[in-house]
Amino acid sequence: MRWSKALIPTLKEVPAEAEIISHKLMLKAGLIRKVASGLYNFLPIGFKVYHKIEKIIREEMDRAGALEILMPIMTPAELWIETGRWNLYGKELVRVKDRANREYALGPTHEEVVTDLARTEIRSYRDMPKNFYQIRNKFRDEIRPRFGVMRCREFIMKDAYSFDRNEECAEESYKIMFEAYKKIFTRCGLDFRPVEADTGNIGGSFSHEFMVLANTGEEVIINCPACGYAANREKAEGVSAFCGNDKEESKPLEKVSTPGQHTVEQVTSFLKKTSSELVKTLLYMADGKPVAALVKGDDELNEHKLKNFLKAAELVMMTEQEVEAATKAPVGFAGPVNLSGMKIFADNAVMKMKNFVIGANEKDMHYVNANFERDFKINKFIDLRTAGEGDTCVKCGQILSSLKGIEVGHTFKLGLKYSKAMKAEFLDEDGKRKPMVMGCYGIGVTRIIGAAIEQGNDENGIIWPMALTPYQVIITALNYKEEKVKEIADSVYEEFMAAGIEVILDDRDGSAGFKFKDAELIGIPLRITVGNKAVNEGVFEVKVRKSKEEFTLKREELLSKIKALIEKELTK
């Protein structure tokens, strides 16, 4: 490609709304342009990077035995109604009507459509295992689209779905995908980590997320440096440092006045206690039914854990009015004593606490010296708190730490969730009809572009891994109008093109500084300068974008040495 013929509209300034570096650089380097909130045009070099990722994914999926198909984006409501997700998905689902008023969803994911396909095409145990995948646009009306391609309303996903005759075979399919994902992200040149994850809207029995490690990541990973345990904070378990002492003698329950003290900090400092001596009572509506959850004052309730435990489709905090109706007191004074009409669950970490502070379900009143059993009963102790840095690892007892990550892939073991709901059955060897055991596997293809930039950048711009770069080499011709320069630059360019190297020739007018700046900004790994030295001495200056290393090569060794450098980077 000749830069003079390309569309690479680099910018000096970027719109203020771009918060994170990858978003800024994608706009600045001319990879994307915003059409509307969460909707982007991919410009030529952005799309080139996309294609490289897509190619790696396709190669590894095919190698793993998955079959590429194409499903429609417009998916009929009837299929979503079969699984109950027409309602469950809520506002994130983009719904459209056709001219006959029939309803459709623009696919945010394709479990329903693919299960419909499987139930007609897979008949016998002999037809399995099968893994179908596609790479195409997905639609999610995200509440807050942000960070450029990271959280869009329309984005490109690779989604795959496996069908097996039993649990054991399904686990094997899951493992094959897990390994394929590791290969994909390694080949993309990303520093990543698979972690245990919550199953969220998709459901199923267990799942892993593939996280690209980056400080700007939205996801918090709790990990154990000692044993390697790693999980998304939504799912992570940890043991709290202070869990009380059940050997302590029970003191009499006492109601105390706490005028105007609502928050944990206010109440505990007023009573001259610490926040770990208080038990918070949090009130929720789970699918319309009230429920109370107790956690230690200095802990955070993990709503994912409560929602999963209750198997609730919807879990929302009670409104002020609902709290008042349930406790007969304003918000801030809820407590488990005499709390009727709902189940009460408490976090494991409060199990051994004695003589703690709780709300008294009365305006401006709390209890001190509350104790389990004597003062109130718990339906069950479960893991409810959000794990954090400094907790001890449930697997090995060492101290946990935390990392930030960007989720680029997600694998789920679905089990029978969709096949049962949609009656996707097959005839097994024993002559019985059984539901297929499913798995599903997503990769955010467009999100990977942002994640790669979050990992590869400096003050001058993007630093692409060789596998994803839009061009492997840039030939920066200084004074291209000069006959000699043009001749040499063109000859190198032609030679590289013929050798299959992905090369861009900067043949524009402009100063050396201006061209070097743009080359750095768009992140091309190797730069060859054709200037006076090349004309007078036959010597070419080469600069490596990542290491900033500079060296010279002679004309005759240029192709072989550059080729070797590219190969080395690609096979790392």
Where on the chain is the footprint of ligand ATP (CB under 6 A)? Answer: 109, 140, 142, 151-152, 155, 157, 200, 202, 407-410, 442, 444, 446-447
Specify the residue, 23 or 151, whose C-beta has the smaller distance to ligand ATP: 151
In this structure, which long-range contacts are made by residues 298-301, counting pairs with CB atoms below 8 Å and at least 24 apart in sequence? 298/264, 298/274, 299/240, 299/347, 299/349, 299/385, 299/386, 300/385, 300/386, 300/388, 301/347, 301/384, 301/385, 301/386
Tokens of 130: 């099968």
CB of 442 to ligand ATP, least distance (A): 3
Count the Cβ atoms, other than its own, within 10 Å of residue 63.
Answer: 11
DSSP one-letter code for 519: H
Residue nearest to ligand ATP (CB): 444
**Exposure of 250 by Cβ count < 10 A (0-12 exposed, 13-18 middle, 19+ buried)?**
middle
CB of 428 to ligand ATP, least distance (A): 30
Specify the residue, 318 or 443, whose C-beta has the smaller distance to ligand ATP: 443
CB of 85 to ligand ATP, least distance (A): 12
CA distance 283 to 272: 25
Specify the residue, 53 or 342, whose C-beta has the smaller distance to ligand ATP: 53
Specify the residue, 165 or 410, whose C-beta has the smaller distance to ligand ATP: 410
Specify the residue, 65 or 200, whose C-beta has the smaller distance to ligand ATP: 200
Specify the residue, 442 or 461, whose C-beta has the smaller distance to ligand ATP: 442
CB of 407 to ligand ATP, least distance (A): 4
At position 29, the amino acid (one-letter code) is A
CA distance 393 to 302: 17
Using CA atoms, how far residue 235 sits from 239, 545, 571, in Å, is: 13, 39, 35
Specify the residue, 206 or 270, whose C-beta has the smaller distance to ligand ATP: 206
CB of 143 to ligand ATP, least distance (A): 10
CB of 41 to ligand ATP, least distance (A): 15
CB of 152 to ligand ATP, least distance (A): 4
CB of 58 to ligand ATP, least distance (A): 16
- Contact between 213 and 191 under an 8 Å Cβ cutoff? The reply is yes
Kind plus residue range of the DSSP H or E element containing 42:
strand 39-42
- Contact between 207 and 412 under an 8 Å Cβ cutoff? The reply is yes
CB of 115 to ligand ATP, least distance (A): 16
Specify the residue, 446 or 479, whose C-beta has the smaller distance to ligand ATP: 446
Specify the residue, 110 or 527, whose C-beta has the smaller distance to ligand ATP: 110
- Contact between 240 and 296 under an 8 Å Cβ cutoff? The reply is yes
Specify the residue, 347 or 407, whose C-beta has the smaller distance to ligand ATP: 407
For β-strands 356-359 and 365-370, DSSP reports them as antiparallel
What are the DSSP E strand ranges found in 400-487? 401-415, 425-427, 433-435, 437-444, 457-458, 461-462, 473-477
CB of 225 to ligand ATP, least distance (A): 25
CB of 445 to ligand ATP, least distance (A): 8
Identify which of 250, 460, 477 has the alpha carbon closest to the alpha carbon of residue 374: 250
CA distance 60 to 55: 9
Tokens of 251: 């003191």
CB of 438 to ligand ATP, least distance (A): 15
Length of the chain: 572
Specify the residue, 53 or 384, whose C-beta has the smaller distance to ligand ATP: 53
Q: What is the DSSP string of 293-339?
A: EEEETTS-B-HHHHHHHHT-S-EEEPPHHHHHHHHSS-TT---STT-
Specify the residue, 52 or 527, whose C-beta has the smaller distance to ligand ATP: 52
CB of 208 to ligand ATP, least distance (A): 11
Tokens of 294: 């107790």
CA distance 198 to 85: 18
CA distance 268 to 359: 11
Specify the residue, 135 or 157, whose C-beta has the smaller distance to ligand ATP: 157
Angle among Cα 365, 366, 369 to the nearest 5 degrees reads 150
